[in-house]
Amino acid sequence: MAIIVYLETENGSFKKSALEVSSYGRKLADEKKTNLCGITFNSSDPFKIEKYGVEKLINIKTDHVFDAKIYADLLCKNFRDLGGTIFITGSSADSRFIFPIISILLDASYATNVVEFPSSISPLVLKRSVFTNKAFVFTELKNKHKIIGILNNSFGIFESERKLEVKDYISESLDSNVQVESIKEDGEKISIADAEIVVSGGRGLKGPENWNLVEDLAKTLGAATACSKPVSDMGWRPHSEHVGQTGKPVASNLYIAIGVSGAIQHLAGINASKCKVVINNDPEAPFFKAADYGVVGDAFDVVPKLIEGLKKFKSR
């Protein structure tokens, strides 16, 4: 009876969400007086997770490219070997790809978009975001095996060091039913899913040639860039930057919207962000009703001043 966390890596390093998932798992393991084990793929620095309370880590070594079915099989096998009952994961696109498969393989109850530590441990009840961030629901997971998918930036990262034992698991080459080829196109940019801060631009920026404002602000803050639906529809920015109900979901700590009016579909997609700032010259823009902080002003005037101020703030 152990709690298992799936710790995602990128180029061998744990993603920030892996530290959050570990912190969540550690607290749950303490409440349930049980052990916390982790499973990861190809970690080059496995002991980095020791600080976040993992006691045993299975480091699966595979040269297989990401294949959801194969990854799901390997995760299930190791979950069973570790005697897992609760499986905790993050909310990346990859993890949302793998875990529905795992939930069938393990016959597990599965909750996604979990925003808090369980409101009850036994029975296990989780608060989830539903109606595209317009409400919450408390869901009880009934099966013996349970999967908790937590939303990024919803719990936080806490240190709680334990003695860590690392075991390598060498996966034999597995037959894949599909060929997978990755098409990298976003280069070294921070992805919207992993970002703590997202800077987003709307039609108010008048044209793609003005996007340096968004990019410069994002660079100053170490943020990801995003855009509203009309902007991606008009081809000013790539579709992969479109956030909102039909675009990518955002759950950042800080979301800054520049020249975005705040259509209901846009707000639905970004509402899981903790702090929302709007810069718009139209005081009637609906975004002001959803935002925590607002600046009524011309973006072309306000944003450069904000960048300048932030640079001074950072060098303080």
Partner 1 sequence: MKILVCISSVPDTTSRINFIDNETEFDRSGVQYVINPNDEFGLTRAIWLKEKESCEVHVICVGGIDTDPILRKALAIGADQAFRVDTKPMDANQVAKEISDLVKEKEYNLIIAGRESIDYNGGMVPGMIATLINANYVSNCVSLDVDQSNFKAIRETDGGKEEISGSLPLVIGSQKGLVEESDLIIPNMRGIMMSRKKPLTIIQAKFKTHQTKTVKYQKLPPKSEVKLVKPEKINDLIDLLHNEAKVI
- CB 167 to partner 1: min, Å: 27
Give the nearest distance from C-beta 168 to partner 1 in angstroms: 26
Comparing CB distances to partner 1, the nearer of 135 and 170 is 135
Minimum distance, C-beta of residue 223 to partner 1, in the bound complex (Å): 10
Provide, rounded to whole angstroms, the least separation between the CB of residue 294 and partner 1.
Answer: 5
Contact assessment for residue 5 and residue 88, using Cβ atoms and an 8 Å cutoff = yes
Nearest alpha-carbon partner for 59 in 169, 162, 173: 169
* Identity of the residue, 54 or 192, whose beta carbon is nearer to partner 1 in the bound complex: 192
CB of 190 to partner 1, least distance (A): 9
CA 78 to chain centre: 24
Cα distances (angstroms) measured from residue 53 to each of 22, 56, 237: 7, 9, 41
Nearer to partner 1, 47 or 138 (CB): 138
Sign of the alpha-carbon dihedral angle for 233, 238, 241, 246: positive
Q: In the complex with partner 1, which residue's Cβ is closer, 22 or 139?
A: 139
Q: Which is nearer to partner 1, 53 or 84 (CB)?
A: 84
Q: What is the DSSP string of 34-56?
A: -EEEEEEES-S-GGGGGGGT--E
Pairing, β 224-227 against β 165-170: unpaired
Which of 207, 251, 244, 252 minimizes the C-alpha distance to 227? Answer: 244
Nearer to partner 1, 120 or 212 (CB): 120
Please report how close the Cβ of residue 102 comes to partner 1 at its closest, in angstroms: 9
CA distances in angstroms from 278 to 32, 153, 154, 313, listed in the order given: 42, 20, 22, 20
